[in-house]
Structure 1
Amino acid sequence: MLKQYQTDFIHYLRFEKRYSSQTIAAYQTDLKQFFSFFLNIYGPLPETASGIDTYHIRTWLADLKETQQQSSRSINRKISTLQSFFNYLKKMQLVDKNPTKRLHTLKTPERLPVFVKEQEVDFLLEGVDFGKDFKGKTDRLICEILYATGMRRNELMLLKEKDVEWSLKQIRILGKGNKERLVPVNTPLLDIIKDYVTEKKHVDHYNDEFLLILDSGAPLYAGYIYRTVKKYLTETGTTLPRKSPHVLRHSFATHLLENGANIQAIKDLLGHSSLAATQIYTQNSIARLKEIHEKNHPRG
């Protein structure tokens, strides 16, 4: 019965909540790990989810922390997975209460968003050689769009030709929870996209639904976008510890803030559900101001 509950829950995340494949895979892994632990320690799984209580979950979390030495951030994600799972079961009236309700998340060290400097972005988009073939044009447009719009990697994968609103100079983005948002784009980027769409028609077996495709004609996939961004960010000479698509999203938000954009506007452009998620970028600006003060003030 519990196996069926898990299957139904994953189906709910995929088709109703519209979570990304990466997020769903993480949920599946967390649930599999918990139920494997339960089997090893307590024996056969109970017939229904009501047979799982807070004590069982706390024991698992303690094992993750003390035996496996997993980070607080990783453990908190697993708590969140179980919270979502039991909330779903309660919604479906399959359990009376959520055993995770009495659990507390662990304190985690604040991690500021990693971003590249404006001059490094300039070099990425103007100084790096992407190549003049179709693959090079695809790779360049990946970096251009991610930085120009701040969209997530999964949102870029799902971006369709029809999402570009040429006359209004904006792109429609389908974000988390199936929520749409509109992000303005400038004329030079629209011109690059127009040229790309024209070039795409000469690719064998090309896909006319998705905006960006591989040189084989197939749609982009997550690993390709990640490797592309990492490769070209490395070529800028940046010393960042992480070079992922999300770094360009962080750079988009940080540079907007540093140039005077309103925090509420940045929230809407990023597609955040709450202002709290966006306010982390203000910490970057404060840290930058402190650094400038220390370097330039006589008594810094």
Structure 2
Amino acid sequence: MKSNKDAFRDYLQLEKKYSVHTVNAYLNDIEFFETFNRVNFEQESIEKVNYGQIRSWIVSLVDQNLSNVSVNRKMASLKSFYKFLLKTKQIEVSPMLKHKALKTPKIVQIPFSEKELTDLMQQVGSPVGFEEIRDKLVVDLFYTTGMRRAELIHLMMRNVDLSSNIVKVLGKRNKERIIPVLPIIADQINLYLKERSALDEIVDDDYFFISKKGLKLSESFVYRLINSYFSRVSEKVKKSPHVLRHTFATHLLNNGADLNSVKELLGHSSLASTQVYTHNSLAELKKVYGDAHPRNK
């Protein structure tokens, strides 16, 4: 018979469709709590804990200088586990029932300006050779599609359809979505594919983006690439693929795109997730309003 943890793993993987990385993070949090509970309360089973024991773990984590964000993530793992035990009738009441997340500061992502994007493209000019052409395409795909870093890294050759100018990406919880590709980007893709086909050896042939050695790109490489490119034109502290995704959404909204369309392009499951991008658009809207209204003349 499977243990509750093993059954929980299957539930996360098969029903919730979480990635292997996310599943392992949840289970690691639960195992850390098990260890804490065993050492401090001499209790092997965490199925029968009370909130006081969980609260003691929170205090211990804070004493270890973990951020509130990290503590909340661990609590979210526990909450999901006990919710699963409730669902499978292993327990009658969740010990997390009255838990409230620790307060965390709201982090406002500052997108790149349209001028910064224009300046960067002027500096890059016309790239030459496989790596330069690939790197510019990485930047342009982030900015013109809003895809996530993991989605770009795992973009497959078979999911790039230039006959229809679309790409298919695999998002969070293994949800597929189709994103249109601008004609100018399709031209860049053709140029990249020509250079790609001339490489001496391709190991990870199924993946669209590869290194000069024919290997799939790493997350750290893509982060460094974006940081390096935008360091040329921006003094913003954070220069990352996620900021480019944020920029994509903000610029679309600033130029009249409706929230639902942006939601679909980003692959969000709810409008609430997309609304975090509207604060910059509101600022732009206020400017347009102020410039255009007769009473402000």
Structure 1 residues 33-182: aligned runs within 5 Å: 33-46=32-45, 49-65=46-62, 67-128=63-124, 132-182=128-178
Match of 2:213 in 1: 216
Q: 1:38 to 1:290 in 2, by over 3 A?
A: farther
Q: 1:97 to 1:197 in 2, by over 3 A?
A: farther
RMSD, aligned CA: 3.1
SS in structure 2 of the partner of residue 216 of structure 1 = coil
Q: 1:13 to 1:228 in 2, by over 3 A?
A: farther
SS in structure 2 of the partner of residue 127 of structure 1 = helix
Q: Is the 8 A contact 2:254 2:285 kept in 1?
A: no
Q: Is the 8 A contact 1:116 1:251 kept in 2?
A: yes
Q: Is the 8 A contact 2:133 2:191 kept in 1?
A: no
Match of 1:230 in 2: 227
* Separation in structure 2 between the aligned mates of residue 153 and residue 24 of structure 1, nearest angstrom: 19
TM-score by length of 2: 0.85
How far off is 1:138 after superposition?
Answer: 2.3
How far off is 1:292 after superposition?
Answer: 9.2
How far off is 1:126 after superposition?
Answer: 3.6
SS in structure 2 of the partner of residue 279 of structure 1 = helix
Unaligned 5+ runs, structure 2: 291-295
Match of 2:264 in 1: 268
Range moving further from structure 2, 222-231 or 123-132: 123-132
How far off is 1:104 after superposition?
Answer: 1.3
SS in structure 1 of the partner of residue 18 of structure 2 = coil
Q: Is the 8 A contact 1:50 1:96 kept in 2?
A: no
TM-score by length of 1: 0.85
* Separation in structure 2 between the aligned mates of residue 124 and residue 18 of structure 1, nearest angstrom: 38
Equivalent pairs, count: 294
Match of 1:189 in 2: 185
SS in structure 1 of the partner of residue 40 of structure 2 = helix
Deviations 1:28-84 (A, max 9, x none): 4433432333233223522xx42223221122123333x234333332222211112
* Separation in structure 1 between the aligned mates of residue 5 and residue 142 of structure 2, nearest angstrom: 34
How far off is 1:279 after superposition?
Answer: 0.9
How far off is 1:87 after superposition?
Answer: 2.5
Unaligned 5+ runs, structure 1: none
Return the letter of the residue paired with 1:35.
E
* Separation in structure 2 between the aligned mates of residue 235 and residue 7 of structure 1, nearest angstrom: 49
SS in structure 2 of the partner of residue 70 of structure 1 = coil
1:284 lines up with 2:257 in the alignment: no
SS in structure 1 of the partner of residue 39 of structure 2 = helix
Q: 1:158 to 1:13 in 2, by over 3 A?
A: farther
* Separation in structure 2 between the aligned mates of residue 44 and residue 168 of structure 1, nearest angstrom: 60
Aligned equivalent of 1:249, options 245, 248, 265: 245
* Separation in structure 2 between the aligned mates of residue 197 and residue 90 of structure 1, nearest angstrom: 51
* Separation in structure 2 between the aligned mates of residue 137 and residue 21 of structure 1, nearest angstrom: 32
1:19 lines up with 2:18 in the alignment: yes
Return the letter of the residue paired with 1:181.
R
How far off is 1:222 after superposition?
Answer: 1.5
Report sequence identity in percent.
37
SS in structure 1 of the partner of residue 231 of structure 2 = helix
Range moving further from structure 2, 186-195 or 132-141: 132-141
Q: 1:170 to 1:10 in 2, by over 3 A?
A: same
* Separation in structure 1 between the aligned mates of residue 287 and residue 29 of structure 2, nearest angstrom: 40
Return the letter of the residue paired with 1:27.
Y
Q: Is the 8 A contact 1:76 1:105 kept in 2?
A: yes
Return the letter of the residue paired with 1:58.
R
Deviations 1:122-171 (A, max 9, x none): 23334137963322222222211111110111111221122122222222
Q: Is the 8 A contact 1:155 1:174 kept in 2?
A: yes
* Separation in structure 1 between the aligned mates of residue 23 and residue 235 of structure 2, nearest angstrom: 32
